[in-house]
Every structure is written in structure tokens, then in C-alpha cells.
A and B are shown apart, each in its own frame.
Chain A
């Protein structure tokens, strides 16, 4: 079945009205994720945009049609590991899934996540990477890219945006031999769906899915442009689509199809968080993008 008919036939398990911004890709990715996984799913959603938008529910109502709990920002993976251990006694086929922000993953929750990978907990940990702590007002996170202006890396007489480079969490988890690691973009839906379906089949350890979700409000662009931005991120190799399984890296079709990459500047222009960057700053980003591509190509060739 093609992706359109498949997604049209699947049940949307998220409330139809949540308060994510217009054009928010975290909302789209969550809906598609749950469409693929189905009702036999238990969710944890730590504090962040998605919990705040109502996914975790308000008062006594629910924001999703599956059981959902809100862990603390730093302990999604360990709470989920406990939930999984309990479900294993009842029905090991229940998908235990975290949908956590990049702040809750790359910074605050990294220790819990890494420990779950070490224990080979069979949970599906999804990082919704919008490249900052968006829900609390766009503070810099470990996955915020170099040069981006955020409320804690402001641009002014001294500041020039974030000084350091984006933390590479999927690569970290691959190096720690998670059972399955994949990077996903909602702009490439067939690839996205295939990876979630594959993740659902993995039974021998931690599954880590890293989704780059453009955030129009935080990145400073029109909501209507977020799919196009996600596409530019892949075509410029700013965001690399790949899978890691059984000690092997495989570059995914949309990234493999990029023969002549788009200039990273094409991805950067049109986002307010990068508006201050000079050509030399963009060159720095180009350099890192090239290094990451070279590294992945070498790993995938082995």
C-alpha cells in the first residue's frame, strides 16, 4: 500500500485539537508515529511543547487515546523502563514509547537514556528535536546548532548566537550499540513510516528514533514553510537520514538520493534565528556538515 493510503487508513490517536503552533512538525510527527504504532501503545511525554499543548491532557481529560503519563524532564527513559518491565508481565507486545524533546533528551535526560541503552530495555525512545527548549521560550539546548540565536545565546554587542556545535545524539546511541537507531524527517513520509514500522518489530533492546522537527515559532519562519525547511535540511545534508542496526550503518534513500547537495545557506536563510550570520559563520556550519557526512559515509562503507 502506498504511504498516502496507509496513513489515510490509520486511526489518528491524538486529540484533533491540541495547542501546538500553526505548522508545528512535532505535532505531525507525533500523529504519524502513533498512527503507525496503533492502540497497543503506552506513551510518556515529559514537559515540553507537546505536553504543554495538551498531549498529556489537562485536569482529568486525556490528549491522546492511549495511556499517557508525564515523567519529569530528565527521567523519561527510566520511568518508561519501569513501565515496560511491568507490561512485560502482562503483554510484551505493548509498545512503550517516549516522545521527548531535545532538551529532555540531549541534556537533562541523557543519563537515563544511556542507562536504558546499557540495560537493553526494549523501549521506543523518540526524540522530537526542534533544536531548543521551545516550550519555555527558546533557550539553547545541546542540539541547538552553531550560530543560532536563542534567548540564552542572544545576538548583541558581545553575543553571536550559540558558540558550540550540535550534539549528535543518534550517533552517540549507535556507538553505545542501541538495538536500533534511526533518524527521521516528516518531510520524507515514506521513509518515516518505514522506520517506525521497523522500530515496532525490534525486540532485543533500546530503540532510538531521532526526528528533526522544524519549529516555525522558535526558528522564525512561516508555519507553511516547515515541510519545505525539513526537505532543505535533508537535501543540504544538514540533517542526515540513516539507520543503525546489528553494528551496521545504512544511509537512507532520501539522503542517498542527494548527489549534488543544496548549499546549507539555502536551509539557513529564511530562518530568523540565523539572520545575523555572516558568510564566514555559515562556512563554519558548512564545515561541520561536511565532516558529519564524511564520518557517516565512512561508517556506512565499512
Chain B
């Protein structure tokens, strides 16, 4: 590609992505026996990597930075904090 070409990318290819999951020292894990599905963690995750699937709240760990906001904000203390083995 010519250096002068300006490219607007609308998909995953060509999207700048950093493997931020490597930053984690701990990872969040939802304890479904305590989770009431309120979605507070989904609202506040700075990466928006918490979603809903089949009515359940699920965390996609592919880029999760392990900031701990989901765990801190969960009103039911339903998020376990698991040390990453490195």
C-alpha cells in the first residue's frame, strides 16, 4: 500500500488491537450461584467486555485488563478474583 493512501477500516482486519489480557495479574470469574444477573458489572467494565448471552452475564477475557471494577462494583460479591498463573 502506498504510504499516502488513507485507509478507513470498518472491520477487525486493520483494527489496531493490543493484547491487553497480558496485563492481568488476576482474572474475574462469575460465581453463578451468587450472580443475580443485574448487569452492574456490564455497565461499568471499561472495556465493555462483559456481555449477555442466553440471559446470563458473561465475561469475555480475551482483552480483560484485570482492573477489578466488575468485582468492586458487584452488589452481590459474585465475582471471584483468581490469580493468573504466569
Contacts and interface: CB of A to CB of B under 8 A. Distances in A.
Q: Do A and B bind each other?
A: yes
Interface of A: 3-5, 7-8, 12, 14-20, 22-25, 27-28, 31-32, 35, 54, 57-58, 60-63, 65, 67, 186-187, 189, 222-228
Contact of B42 (A8, A57, A60): A8
Contacts of B5: 60
B18 A18 contact: yes
Given A19-B18, A54-B16, A62-B8, A27 B68 contact: no
Contacts of B51: 8
Contacts of A54: 16, 18
Given A224-B67, A227-B72, A8 B15 contact: no
A161 to B, nearest CB: 27
A28 B18 CA distance: 17
B42 A223 contact: no
Contacts of B65: 22
B48 interface: yes
Q: Is the interface of B mostly helix, strand, loop or mixed?
A: loop
Interface magnitude class on chain B: 35 or more
Contacts of B19: 17
B14 A228 contact: no
B67 A58 contact: no
Contact of B67 (A17, A19, A186, A223): A223
A35 B47 CA distance: 12
B15 A224 contact: no
B77 interface: no
Contact of A226 (B11, B48, B69): B69
Nearest to B44: A227
Contacts of A187: 44
B33 interface: no
A14 B12 CA distance: 11
B72 A22 contact: no
B76 interface: no
B35 interface: no
B19 to A, nearest CB: 6
Given A58-B16, A67-B8, 5 more contacts: A8-B52, A15-B16, A22-B67, A35-B48, A63-B15
Given A4-B38, A24-B46, A225-B72, A62 B16 contact: yes
